[in-house]
Structures are given as structure tokens and as C-alpha cells.
Amino acid sequence: MAQPTHVLAIDQGTTSTRTIAFDAQARPVATAQREFAQHYPQGGWVEHDPEDIWRDTLATLREAIAGSGVAADRFAAMGITNQRETVVVWDRETGAPIHRAIVWQDRRTAQTCADLHAAGHEALVSARTGLLLDPYFSATKVAWILDNVKGARARAEAGDLAFGTIDSFLLWRLTGGKAHATDVTNAGRTLLFDIHAQRWDEDLCALFRVPMAMLPAVHDNSHLFGTTAEGLLDAPIPIAGMAGDQQAALFGQACFEPGMAKSTYGTGCFMLLNTGSEAIASKHRLLTTPAYRLGGRMTYAVEGSIFVAGAAIKWLRDGIGVIDSASDTARLAESVGDDHGVTLVPAFVGLGAPHWDPDARGAIFGLTLDAGKAHITRATLESVAFQTMDLVEAMVADGADDLGAIRVDGGMAANDWLCQFLADILGVEVERPANIETTALGAAFLAGLATGFWADLDALSATWRCSRRFSPAMPAERRARLREGWRAAVAKTRTTARDRAD
Ligand SMILES: Nc1ncnc2c1ncn2[C@@H]1O[C@H](COP(=O)(O)OP(=O)(O)O)[C@@H](O)[C@H]1O
Ligand SMILES: O=P(O)(O)OC[C@H](O)CO
């Protein structure tokens, strides 16, 4: 066999699918990317067509291989990383999904979660899964499909249907239906997986009414999951790494030591803090989640999940048309004075951590007649930093040491204005790596480790480079005033949601 020279990573995100080819120095040598359709069948519902996702995955894989100029048999392996929690249920015989994928942002099961909460189930769920009863997670979405597609529940119980998050679905398709598996990080977002015992939990499956016969096998993140089916690519390539995208970003940022944190700004924003071999239960409504498992040894993280970050920028562009492109936002934000007085709370799909309020909806405060698109744009960027601030405060209140620095990545991290405002509001150093595609890199690292392409974590750490560091420069008094303004706006947003519900 030819000596491997490169590794591939598939990054299946909420709004786009991409494949990146990396060389042995972890440099991206070819990228292929496609945006795909979002379906909003009702208010608060969000769906994807799994066939779109599969079509784009295959197309970007072929394109990235061709674009790299590297022969397919020179790739040591590929890794898969994915939007987490999103649910696909498919027929084991035909491989056809029985419903569109229900996306992590979808709120249709809010009432089911409220009922389970009222019945007193949250303590058990949190103790075993590290999560909360929120429609964000997979279990209630799976049950919704089984209850709403005719005959599905009986077929699932008979073992004829398979459930998977996007990673499992892609693995199934890539291997021609040979492998039905996932990894601990994706399993750990379903509400069905005991993150301490590290196995599917019978009680939780019964509580959420998900038949165990439809669940995938769960493996380490660095593991030989399967090999691409004959004829799919010019040569079969092993699939040897898998992780949910936020955990992959933590890995790609080389946050391997307890106390190291990263924050990823894509559609949403997700901040993960490595807590080592200890699963720390949050007292401030953060999540406890598997960070990665290598050689059977689990590393955990504490996570703050924010549902809307880049999605608000997309809304500025596609929803209300105040910008032509995401890259306009920094210039517009700079054009507004510091004391502009506008606050935007982007609770478009409720609020995630640390509030977990599925009924909250977006709001803008402080409008005056001179407020224009620049004010709204600036307030939108600021809201992303303020939400991160809420997460950091919750982590510190949970006993985390004061964070000296956070590593940022994701599409929005390209925005210098945002990175500086983030450093100012958090009062910590913000480090942006040379490669902000850390999600894909993390998946590539996992696949490369499994196949010996990279030797160990030290070899991976050695590839991490900071390209720009943003240091806090805002006077403490101004920071305190802005923080206060944000808290008041969030409180008003939540009161309005409660008033509407009454
Ligand atoms: N310069 C920028 N300023 C602000 N937001 C940006 C910028 N560039 C990209 N974005 C936003 O980042 C998001 C894309 O990031 P990405 O990491 O690709 O997301 P995902 O993986 O969730 O699909 C989009 O929502 C886009 O609006
Ligand atoms: O698509 P992203 O990058 O915003 O990530 C989505 C998260 O995995 C949802 O939990």
C-alpha cells in the first residue's frame, strides 16, 4: 500500500457541509463546501433533508480529494464531525430516512419536556446524562418521529428502523449500510446515554419511549468505524475518527489539559472547558459532556450552549436584509459610537445556557429615531459576546479557575471586531488560531491518531499556532455598565415570554 500523506475530515454543520484535506503538518490543502436548504415547516420547527446532507457529503468528499491533487489511496483515513443532537431515523433494509431530520434547534417537543420536568424526572436525567430536559437534545425528537410517522413505532420495536445522529447516518451511507455506530460525544447528547457508565441506559430509553433496538453501537472517538464502500471513491478509505462538532473543535484546538477552554462561533456558540477525567456536575445549568474518549479513557468537559450566534448574522442578511454579507458586520459595528444604547437579545429559538428558556423570543431594546442598521448590527455582534459572558460567569460560579485565555474558532471568529469586544467584555485574552477550521481539524486528528498517522497528543499540540491574540482593553467601569444593561434586557425578554404564555 502507498505511504499515506494526508487525512480527510467531513464537517457536516447546521448550514453547510464541507470536506477538508489536511497534510501531516495539519495544514488544510483543499476544501470543498456546500450550503444546503433549511426547512421551517412551522414556527419553532427546523428540519433538514438527510438526502441533501448525504448528496453534499459525497460531492464535497470527491471534490476535496480531487482538489488536493492527492491520490485517494494516499489518505490515511477520514474523520466525521457533525452538528450534534439532530435526529435521523431510517429503514435498515433500504437505508431511506422515514422523516426529514429534526434539527437541534427545533422546539416542537418543548411541551413533552415541560411535562417530564413537571413529573419530576429532571434529576435522574441530569445525573445520568449531564444534560437537562430541553427539546434541544435528541430523545424527544426520536419519539416524536416514532409517534407521528404511521407504523414507525412498531417497526422500531421490531428492529427494522435505525436511529442515528448525523455522524451515524453518514457512517451508514459511507460504508454501504455495513456500520451502525456512533461515538461517546454524539451518544452523550441524546439523553439516552449514561455518561458515567458509558452505555445506553435502559431506564432513560423507557422514559423517553425510544426502543433500544434502534440505537447504534458506541465507540471511542478514535476508532476504526468502517471503510468506505467499494466504488464510492477511487480507493476505499478507513473512517477512523468521529466526534460531535463542538468536541471536535475542542480537540482541534488542542485543549487537552484540564482548565483549557474553547468557544466556537458558528450557527450557535458553544463553549467547552476541559475538566479531565472528572465529570463535574454544574450548579448553574451548564452541561456535563464527554469531551473525548481515547483507548477507553474518558475526558469530560463542561459546556455552555448558545443557540444563536452566526444564525443572527444570517438573519441580518437573509431575514431583514440590513447587510449584504456577514463580512460587512465589523465595518458597520465600528461606525457606531460606544454608547449607542441598543441591546438585542437573539432568543429566536428560545434561550440556551444558562437560562434554558424554550419560550423566550428575540427582542430589541433602546431604539431611538437615529438607530439604523449599523446599531442593530452592532447590537447583534455584541449579543454574541454577552451570551459568552453569561457562560463564563456560570463556569466561574461552578468553581472553574478564572480563565486566563479562551481559544476561539468557527466562521464568526474571523470577525476582528467581535474578537476584540469579546476580550473586552470577558476580561480575558482571546486567542485565534492560524486555522479557524478547528472542527474539521479535530476530526482529522482523531482519524489520524487511530491509524498512526500522528503519534500522540503531543504531536497534535505541536501543530497549534496562535495567529492573533486580542487583549482586554475596556475600562472596568464601562464593562460593568454594559454587563448590567445586558442582564436587564435578558430579564425583560424572559418576562415578556412569560406574560405571553399566561
Ligand atoms: N466575518 C463575519 N462576521 C460575522 N459573522 C460571520 C462572519 N463570517 C461568517 N459569519 C457567520 O458564521 C456562520 C458560519 O460559521 P460556520 O462555522 O461555517 O457555521 P456552521 O458550522 O454552524 O454551519 C454564519 O452564520 C455566518 O453568518
Ligand atoms: O452547526 P454548528 O457548528 O453551529 O453546531 C451545532 C451544534 O453541534 C449543536 O449542538
Q: How far apart are CA 15 and CA 35, in angstroms?
A: 6
The stretch 280-306 carries a mean pLDDT of: 94
Range 400-429 average pLDDT: 91
Mutate to test the pocket of ligand 2, among 84, 138, 167, 251 (most ligand atoms within 8 A of CB): 84
Helix (H) or strand (E) holding 458: helix 457-461
Choice from 10, 20, 267, 417 to test ligand 1 binding pocket (greatest atom count within 8 A of CB): 267
C-alpha to C-alpha distance for 372 and 1, rounded to whole angstroms: 62
Distance 231 CA to ligand 1 centre (A): 34
Helices and strands (H, E) in the chain, number of each type: 16, 23
> Of 213, 121, 112, 208, which Cα lies nearest the Cα of 161?
213
> From the CB of 14, is ligand 2 less than 6 Å away?
yes
Q: Return the pLDDT at 452.
A: 93
Mean pLDDT, rounded, for 75-91: 97
Across 158-176, b (16+ Cβ under 10 Å) vs e yields: eeebbbbbbbbbbbbbbbe
- Chain centroid to Cα 16, Å, comes to 13
Categorize the per-residue pLDDT at 501 as very low, low, confident or very high, splitting at 50, 70 and 90. Answer: low
In DSSP terms, 163 is beta-bridged to 89
Residue 19 has pLDDT above 80, yes or no: yes
pLDDT at 381 exceeding the cut of 80: yes
Secondary structure of 199-266 as H, E, C letters: EECHHHHHHHCCCHHHCCEEECCEEEEEECCCCCCCCCCEEEEEEEHHHHHHHHCCCCCCCCEEEEEC
* Residue 85 is labelled as binding a ligand: yes
What's the pLDDT band for 384 if we cut at 50, 70, 90? Answer: very high
Q: Ligand 2: distance of its center to the CA of 266 in Å?
A: 7
Span 99-134, pLDDT tens digits: 999 999 999 999 999 999 999 999 999 999 999 999
**pLDDT(241) > 90:** yes
Ligand 1 atom with least separation from CA of 16: 23
The residue nearest atom 9 of ligand 2, judged by CA position, is 84
Q: What tens digit of pLDDT does each residue of 153-184 get? A: 999 999 999 999 999 999 999 999 999 999 99
Predicted ipTM? 0.96
CA of 83 to the centre of ligand 2 (A): 4
Closest CA to 49 of 166, 160, 138: 166
Which residue has the least CA distance to atom 6 on ligand 2?
A: 83
Name which residue leads in pLDDT, 495 or 46: 46
Among 93-97, 355-359, 447-451, the least confident range: 355-359
pLDDT tens per residue across span 250-279:
999 999 999 999 999 998 999 999 999 989
Q: Provide the mean pLDDT of the chain.
A: 94
Q: What is the pLDDT of residue 1?
A: 62
502 has a pLDDT exceeding 80: no
What number of residues does the chain have? 502
Give the pLDDT score at 362: 93
The pLDDT of residue 340 is: 87
Across the strands, what pairs with 364? 344
Residues 447-476 have pLDDT tens digits of 999 999 999 999 999 988 899 999 999 999
Q: Which of 429, 137, 501, 412 is nearest to 289 (CA)?
A: 137
